[in-house]
Amino acid sequence: MSEPDVPPGEIIVHLDVLLARRKIRSKELADRIGVSEQALSMIKTGKIKGVRFSTLIAICDALDCQPGELFEFRRVPD
């Protein structure tokens, strides 16, 4: 089964930037939100297809940020 047509663009994850600004290590955040370091690394690198809202809420709560600070949409030029 093929995926439906996806608009030409990409989602950029800024989790590493927020961690640096708040001087929090990935391990500490992973412990706070109850996910493995590997799972958090996959989110940071964008190597995932989706994020559960419960995980997103936990990240935003732990980092005192909004979802828009974590993710950015960039259109890929034709």
Q: Tell me the pLDDT tens digit for each residue of 5-60.
A: 767 899 999 999 999 999 999 999 999 999 999 999 999 999 988 999 999 999 99
Which phi-psi region, left, alpha or beta, contains residue 56 (left: φ > 0; alpha: ψ -120 to 50)? alpha
pLDDT (mean) for 74-78? 84
pLDDT the model gives residue 4: 63
What is the torsional sign of CA 13, 16, 19, 20?
negative
Residues with Cβ within 8 Å of residue 3, at least 6 apart in sequence: none
Other beta carbons within 10 Å of 32: 14
Tokens 């992973």 belong to 30
Beta carbons of 27 and 37 less than 8 angstroms apart:
yes
